[in-house]
Amino acid sequence: MVTVHTPVMSNEVLAQLVPFRADALIVDGTLGEGGHSMGFLRTYPECRVIGIDIDPVMGRRAMNRLETPRKRFELMTGWTDEILASWVKRAPDIILLDLGVSRFHYECSGRGFSFRADEPLDMRLDESSERNAADLVNSLEEDDLAKLIFTYGEERYSRRISRSIVEQRRKAPIVNTGQLVGVVSRAIPRKARHGRIHAATRTFQALRIVVNRELDRLAAILNVAPTMLAAKGRLGIISFHSLEDRLVKRCYRAHDGRYGGDCHILTRKPLLPSAEECRSNPSSRTAKFRVLKKASIGDSP
């Protein structure tokens, strides 16, 4: 049975990203399986939603789930940063970015996003991309691999892991997730292998981020999203680790009226998922939701 992804902080999203006009244009910049888009379409019966996703598989799943008139929902397949950079449509009233990876990718895609299944070590959201996770693991120099795991996974044992990976690949290439999990687990000191998160979590995160250029793409989106909003429009971003959240905070501050920008930060501290949501949907535990509002003429900072 194929599972359906549960959108994180859906109540908070609908409470914060309220359009100021009935026929609002809403951009769901990370469509996934369409959970957030469904919430907007059901809550605002006159709004129009544009969903963006690089993976055509996710686009098809979302379209099947939404079952909404085509005049109210449009699917755009591509990287969000590239689509927003060449935007020619009406200025959006709402832009939402849920930066989490869909449950489908972890459990059903067979692309090696999860360390809980033995799958090809791929991790590409866009399967037409040339470089996958196995390419990185088997080709990078030891120092470069250690830097990647430390920088993008914030893994304290990055050098030990990198050294073990290089030693293993001298014997045979590392081509599936099971092999990588074994190498990483053995590299980490025994007392640190059974902490709050799986021993391979940070290494897998680092590889996924680099394969999909996630932080570069987020930075590119943040460079254009606040400026393209309609007056009184809102930008909401749900991040899941400190590297993403740091970029979002920096962007919001740069556009805030207190520092000369033309927006207002509506969430001085990020909104967090409720304890109930964390229990029912553990993937929400690290989520942070921040909202920025575009000012209108006459608004004070």
DSSP string for 239-282 = E-SHHHHHHHHHHHHHHBGGGT-SEEES-SS-B---HHHHHH-G
* Structure-token pair, residue 17: 């990203």
| Residue the block writes with tokens 């250029």 | 213
Taking 50 as the pLDDT cut, the residues of the chain under it are 1, 301
Burial class (CB in 10 A: 0-12, 13-18, 19+), 151: middle
Portions of the chain given CATH number 3.40.50.150: 10-104+216-294
Q: What span, in angstroms and rounded, lies between the C-alpha atoms of 217 and 223?
A: 10
pLDDT of residue 297: 58
pLDDT of residue 108: 82
pLDDT of residue 123: 96
Q: List the one residue out of 35, 33, 80, 30 whose CA is nearest residue 59.
A: 33
Q: Is 64 helix (H, G, I), strand (E, B) or coil?
A: helix
pLDDT of residue 250: 96
Q: Which fold has domain 10-104+216-294?
A: Rossmann fold (3.40.50)
Portions of the chain given CATH number 1.10.150.170: 130-211
* Structure-token pair, residue 136: 């990185």
pLDDT of residue 28: 97
Q: State the architecture of 130-211 in CATH terms.
A: Orthogonal Bundle (1.10)
Q: List the one residue out of 284, 148, 244, 131 whose CA is nearest residue 203.
A: 148
* Structure-token pair, residue 155: 């893994």
Tell me if 202 sits within 8 A of 150, measured CB to CB: no
Q: What span, in angstroms and rounded, lies between the C-alpha atoms of 98 and 106?
A: 16
* Structure-token pair, residue 113: 């996003």
Q: How far apart are the first and last CA of the chain?
A: 51
